[in-house]
Amino acid sequence: MQEFQGIVTDFWIEERNAFLLLGDHKISLLPYVGQNFSIDILDETMCLHCHKMGEELTRGECPHCVKRLAHNDLCYVVPSLCHFARGSCREPQWSQHICFQEHILYLSQTSDLKVGITRRTRFKERLLEQGAWQGLSLGVFPTRMAAGKVEKKLSEFIKDKTAWKKMLTEQDVALIDLVSEKEKLTSFLGKDCQEHHEHYTFNYPRLELEKTSMIKLEIGLGISSRLLGARGHYIILSDGFIHSGKLLGRKINLKIN
């Protein structure tokens, strides 16, 4: 049996693997698929930004950091609302570095056909984060706002959100022809768009699901389950799904055998 204890500081998916950073341990999860996987939620939290202990957390951040950090502002999700030029950005230096770099506008297939944007350097990571079967870039834009404006236009007729339950439960779906979907959209891309073509496909092997509900994490909860797989932000157990964001900043004890 292997036992790990510590604060969860990160979770991410790579092609054919998933990782959990727990205290000093980087745990590679997929080799343990099929094994018993027990998590105890302990009474200790740490904000992943300011390291303050004992706060209520949202995706690993304390209430103060949730308010203070620009990535939590609505304009980060809806870049057409960018207010940097008005001087009211929460973290102008951070935004200058993040929002004012090249962004990719893309089509992906998660639960359905979806449109999205991400920094040019993290296209593949973003697709894996969303649990996409595949993703195709539509073009590159000079800033987050420029890409976001076109995304908003496209979201009038293409979804911009993933239905998590559908994404986690479906297997062996037919791949949508993203190249021909892209061809239909060329006239919407506008003058800021630079041509770009990157196409990725992924698969997410897992064991047969037993429960398809979300596991609610609370202090004192002990989950004794079996690891079935991982996809997007989720760890898939025989007792249901865990959203990794709910684990961030929490101290847990993990036993695998």
Residue numbers at the binding site for Zn ion (CB under 5 A): 47, 49-50, 62, 65
- The CB-of-52 to Zn ion minimum distance in angstroms stands at 5
**Other Cβ atoms closer than 10 A to 196:** 17
Give the span between the Cα atoms of 238 and 230, in whole angstroms. Answer: 12
Query: Closest CB to Zn ion among 67 and 166?
Result: 67
Q: Which is nearer to Zn ion, 65 or 127 (CB)?
A: 65
**Least distance (Å) from Zn ion to the CB of residue 64?**
5
Phi, psi of 32, rounded to the nearest 5 degrees? -95, 5
User: Of the two residues 49 and 90, which places its CB atom closer to Zn ion in the complex?
Assistant: 49
Contact 126, 144 (CB under 8 A): no
251, 221 Cβ separation under 8 angstroms: no
User: Closest approach of Cβ 98 to Zn ion, in Å?
Assistant: 19
- Give whichever of 36 and 72 is closer to Zn ion, judged by the CB atom: 72
Q: Which ranges of 130-219 would DSSP assign to H, the alpha helix?
A: 144-154, 164-169, 178-185
Taking the least distance from each CB to Zn ion, the nearer of 65 and 89 is: 65
Q: Edge-to-edge strand order for the sheet containing 250-256?
A: 25-28, 17-22, 2-14, 250-256, 36-45, 222-231, 234-237, 240-243
Residue 56 CB, nearest approach to Zn ion (Å): 11
Three-state secondary-structure class, residue 49 = coil
Q: How far is the CB of 6 from Zn ion (least distance, A)?
A: 18
